[in-house]
Amino acid sequence: MASRRSLRGLDWFAFFVADIQTGWGPFVATYLTSVGWAQLDIGLVLTIGTITGLALQIPAGALVDCIRAKRVLAAIAVVSISASALLLAEWPAFSPVIVAKILHALASCLLGPTLVAISLGLVGYGSFSRRLGRNARFLSFGNAIAAGIAGGLAYYYSNQAIFLFTTALGVPTLLALAFISPSEINPDLARGTISKVPGNRLGAVFGLLRNRLLLAFAVAIAFFQLANTAMLPILGGALAIRDPQTAALVLSISILLPQFVVVVIAPWVGAKAEDWGRRPLLVVCFVALAIRATIFAATGNVYVLIMAQLLDGISAACLGVLVPLVIADVTQGSGRFNFSQGLVGTAVGIGASVSTTFAGYLTDLSGTPIAFIALACVSIAGLLFVLAFMPETSGDARSGRT
């Protein structure tokens, strides 16, 4: 039974993890532009980071499974992100920035699975869905707060200050991690099993790759990212053409508003994942996504567009709980929970990478409304895939299916 101290430490660890990751979002391109970088070089650096992240998702997940000291892995990831931010802030030349971006990609691939593994190791399967809802609340709250602070730092000081702030955030993140008692993290539960896994490890990995539920879920998540990732970039471009003076403000509100929706509803989603099951919430994700894309295609009214972004918060809250929860369901007893997180994370990266190119091409070819209609169609295709190929997983997990 995890103590109140460890659970509160996990709350604040999730909060600060979101904080230190926020600076590495759209602020990187803004900062590098401000110090004279060409857009081609910025694009190259971002692409290298994306490819590195894709390549390391599965190996990082496997490493989290193998290393029993999950807090040590988390601390290494936090220190690496702080170091990469400091490197970016102080030496914005091409080679140091490449090193910083690769270091950040590696740390990010470790940090996400480690946070979830610590959560499962602390609370076990019975309370895992509710714990994930709480994690999602603190992650989104951290994102929103950090984005606001970063914007203020850039406005009143400089873009460089964002990354110095990110560097400093490593300290409270490590302090929060220190409140989690290592003796309360069950190392076997944290990798998806209660007992030692018999047989060779390579055989267990190939067994997972033949797990139809896991692969079906990975495909479903790839569908979601294919439809979702390009929506805000395409909307931002359309707003910039239509009204350049207000585009940045509207886009900022559109990014922040869903975070507060997640803060409000994520614990409720965690509870309903137990009461309703996983599949109905996965259906809700895709329905909300399809409706949002359709609204974006149908109107240019700023107020309607902002309200439609509430649906993004619903999808984000559901997925924040469902992704690790369904993976835990279908891999329980395998000892490869974090490897499987890496597999699904790779599907997320592939879907997201294709999304922006696909939607950007359609926008140039046929216009923004057609691009949004296409994304709505992808959402519906994902929904049909879920209905056809994704059964409820909670019952299977409780009966020990792997």
CA atoms within 13 A on the CB side of 223: 24
**Does the residue 321 lie in any domain?**
yes
- The last residue of one of the domains, among 113, 146, 177, is 177
- The last residue of one of the domains, among 147, 177, 207, is 177
**Does the residue 193 lie in any domain?**
no
The reply to whether 167 and 37 lie within a common domain is yes
Report how far residue 250's alpha carbon sits from residue 26's, in angstroms, rounded to the nearest whole number: 15
The reply to whether 99 and 164 lie within a common domain is yes
Report how far residue 369's alpha carbon sits from residue 228's, in angstroms, rounded to the nearest whole number: 15
The reply to whether 249 and 370 lie within a common domain is yes
pTM: 0.86
Report how far residue 235's alpha carbon sits from residue 371's, in angstroms, rounded to the nearest whole number: 10
> How high is the pLDDT of residue 10?
96
> How high is the pLDDT of residue 402?
38
What CATH number did the domain enclosing 77 receive?
Answer: 1.20.1250.20
H, E, C per residue of the chain: CCCHHHHHHHHHHHHHHHHHHHCCCCHHHHHHHHCCCCHHHHHHHHHHHHHHHHHHHHHHHHHHHHCCCHHHHHHHHHHHHHHHHHHHHHCCCHHHHHHHHHHHHHHHHHHHHHHHHHHHHHHCCCCHHHHHHHHHHHHHHHHHHHHHHHHHHHHHCCHHHHHHHHHHCHHHHHHHHHCCCHHHCCCCHHHCCCCCCCCCHHHHHHHHHCCHHHHHHHHHHHHHHHHHCCHHHHHHHHHHHHCHHHHHHHHHHHHHHHHHHHHHHHHHHHHHHHHCCHHHHHHHHHHHHHHHHHHHHHCCCHHHHHHHHHHHHHHHHHHHHHHHHHHHHHHCCCCCHHHHHHHHHHHHHHHHHHHHHHHHHHHHHHCHHHHHHHHHHHHHHHHHHHHHHCCCCHHHHHCCCC
**Does the residue 185 lie in any domain?**
no
> How high is the pLDDT of residue 324?
93
Report how far residue 181's alpha carbon sits from residue 163's, in angstroms, rounded to the nearest whole number: 30
The reply to whether 157 and 206 lie within a common domain is no
The reply to whether 125 and 274 lie within a common domain is no
> How high is the pLDDT of residue 311?
96
pLDDT < 50: residue spans in the chain: 197, 396-402
Can you read off the two tokens belonging to residue 159? 């873009």
**Does the residue 133 lie in any domain?**
yes
The reply to whether 369 and 268 lie within a common domain is yes
The reply to whether 161 and 309 lie within a common domain is no
Query: CA dist 31 to 27, 142, 388, Å?
Result: 6, 21, 45
> How high is the pLDDT of residue 174?
96
**Does the residue 220 lie in any domain?**
yes
Angle at which helices 94-123 and 302-331 cross, to 10°: 60
Q: Which amino acid would we find at residue 136?
A: A
What is the residue whose two structure tokens read 């922006």? 356
Question: Which residues contact residue 374 at a Cβ distance below 8 angstroms, ignoring those fewer than 6 apart?
Answer: 358, 359, 362
> How high is the pLDDT of residue 308?
94
**Does the residue 72 lie in any domain?**
yes
- The last residue of one of the domains, among 117, 146, 177, is 177
Whether the CB-CB separation of 125 and 273 falls below 8 Å is answered with no
The reply to whether 293 and 168 lie within a common domain is no
Report how far residue 32's alpha carbon sits from residue 149's, in angstroms, rounded to the nearest whole number: 19
> How high is the pLDDT of residue 117?
94
Can you read off the two tokens belonging to residue 378? 């992808």
The reply to whether 143 and 206 lie within a common domain is no
The reply to whether 167 and 261 lie within a common domain is no
Number of domains in the chain: 2
**Does the residue 352 lie in any domain?**
yes
Q: Which domain holds residue 80?
A: 1-177
Please write the tens of the pLDDT for every residue from 250-272. Answer: 877 888 889 999 999 999 999 99
> How high is the pLDDT of residue 270?
93
The reply to whether 1 and 74 lie within a common domain is yes
Query: CA dist 259 to 145, 180, 351, Å?
Result: 10, 26, 22
**Does the residue 399 lie in any domain?**
no
The reply to whether 149 and 259 lie within a common domain is no
Report how far residue 70's alpha carbon sits from residue 76's, in angstroms, rounded to the nearest whole number: 10
